[in-house]
Amino acid sequence: MTNTAVRRGRPSRRHLPRGRPPTQALFRRLFALNGLVFTVGTLVLALSPATVSSPVLLTEVPVLIIGLALILAVNALLLRTSLAPLGALTTLMQRVDLLHRGDRLVDSGNGDLTNLIETFNAMLDRLEAERSASSAHALAVQEGERQRIARELHDEIGQSLTVVLLGLKRAVDRAPEELREELHAVQETVRSSLDEVGQVARRLRPDVLEDLGLHSALNALATEFSQVSGVPVTRKSDPDVPALSAEMELVIFRIVQESLTNVARHAHATKVELSLRAEDDTVVLRVADNGTGDVRHEGAGIRGMRERALLIGARLTISALPRGGTEVRLTVPMMAEGS
C-alpha cells in the first residue's frame, strides 16, 4: 500500500528531480497493473475446471459474474493504491499557504508518483524562497519610507508647529486681556498637534529601539498604548534574554506594535500581558489579552506579522485562550541570526 503523508517543518532545499516524466511512469504502472490482472484472470479461467458453453447456460452465469467481479475488485484496489498520492496532493494544493512554511508531501510507498511529488515539493521550495526574498525587499522599502516620513514630520511639520507655538506665546504676552483666553486655547491645540506629530514619528521610526535597546522600546510602546487606550499592560521581561541582531529586534518591536494595535481596535480587552523571555535556544515573545478577538480571520496586519516572522526564521502562532482573549506568540530561534 502507498503510504503518503503530509510533513510539516522546515524542509531541506532540493533541486528539481530528473528522470522519467510522471505521466509516463504512471502510464506504465497502470498498464502493467491492468495487464497483470487480466493475465491472472485468463490463467485462472484456462487452468480451472470451469467451462463455458455456447450458448452460455444459466448455471454458468453466476460463475462468470463472480469472476468478473473479482477481476474488477482487484483492479480497483490496485488502481486506488497507485493513485492514492493524487488525493493527498490535491488536498495539499488546496490548503497550501506560503506564509505557513514547511507543508510538504512525503511519499514512502511504492513510488508510483514519486517524481510528481518531488517536483511539487521543489516548486513549493522555490516559491517560498522567492516569497521570502520579495517580502524582505518590500519590508525594507517600507521601513525606509517610514523613516523618511518620520524625519519629514519631525524636521518640517514639527519645526513649523514649534515656530507657531513661539509666535502664539509672544502674541499672548502682547494681547489684551479679553483675547488671551482664546489665544491660550489655540496654543493648547497647536501643542496637542505637536505632541501627536511626535507620537506618529516615534511609531514610524522607533529611535528608542536604536538608542536604548529592545526592552526600553517595548516598555515605551506599552506605556504609550496604556495612555492612549486606557488598557493596562503587565510587562514581564527576562533579564537573561541574549543579545539579538538589529533585524530581530525590529521584527519583535513591529509585531508587538501590531499586536497592541489589534487589541485597541478589535479586542475590547481590559488588560494585556506582554512578556519576553529566553527558553532553551529560543527567545519567546508573548502578547495576550482578555478580549473578544477572532483568530479565525486573518487580515492584512496579521499576514504582515507572519511575513516579518519568516524573515528571521521565527514561528508565529495566534490562538484563542481558553478563558477568552487572544495570544500572539513569536518563537525566535537563536540559530536564525547566523542563517
DSSP 13: P
Q: Which residues 6+ apart lie within 8 Å of 161 measured at CB?
A: 190, 193, 194, 197
For every residue of 220-244, which 3-state class applies, written as one string? Answer: HHHHHHHHHHCCCEEEEECCCCCCC
Written as one string, the DSSP assignment of 192-210 is: HHHHHHHHHHHHHS-HHHH
What span, in angstroms and rounded, lies between the C-alpha atoms of 217 and 206? 7
The pLDDT value recorded for residue 339 is 41
The pLDDT value recorded for residue 28 is 67
Domain with CATH 3.30.565.10 in the chain: 213-339
Instruction: For residue 4, give the C-alpha cell.
Output: 503518503
CB burial of residue 42 (10 Å; 0-12, 13-18, 19+):
exposed
> Is there a contact between 5 and 108 (Cβ–Cβ < 8 Å)?
yes
The pLDDT value recorded for residue 234 is 93
pTM for the predicted model, two decimal places: 0.58
> Is there a contact between 190 and 165 (Cβ–Cβ < 8 Å)?
yes
Q: Which residues 6+ apart lie within 8 Å of 211 measured at CB?
A: none
Question: 270 by DSSP, 3-state: which?
Answer: coil
Residue 55, preceding peptide bond in cis (omega within 30° of 0): yes
> Which has the closest alpha carbon to 102: 119, 123, 125?
125
The pLDDT value recorded for residue 13 is 43
Q: Which residues 6+ apart lie within 8 Å of 240 measured at CB?
A: 278
What span, in angstroms and rounded, lies between the C-alpha atoms of 75 and 81? 10
Q: Could you report the average pLDDT of every consecutive run of 10 residues in the chain (339 residues)?
A: 48 46 62 74 69 66 75 75 72 71 64 72 81 74 78 81 86 83 87 84 75 86 89 87 86 91 88 91 92 75 85 88 89 65
- Residue where the block lists cell 508518483: 113
The pLDDT value recorded for residue 75 is 73
- Cα-Cα-Cα-Cα dihedral sign, residues 255, 244, 140, 303: negative
The pLDDT value recorded for residue 151 is 79
- Cα-Cα-Cα-Cα dihedral sign, residues 265, 271, 273, 274: positive
Q: Which CATH class is domain 213-339?
A: alpha beta
Radius of gyration of the chain (CA): 33
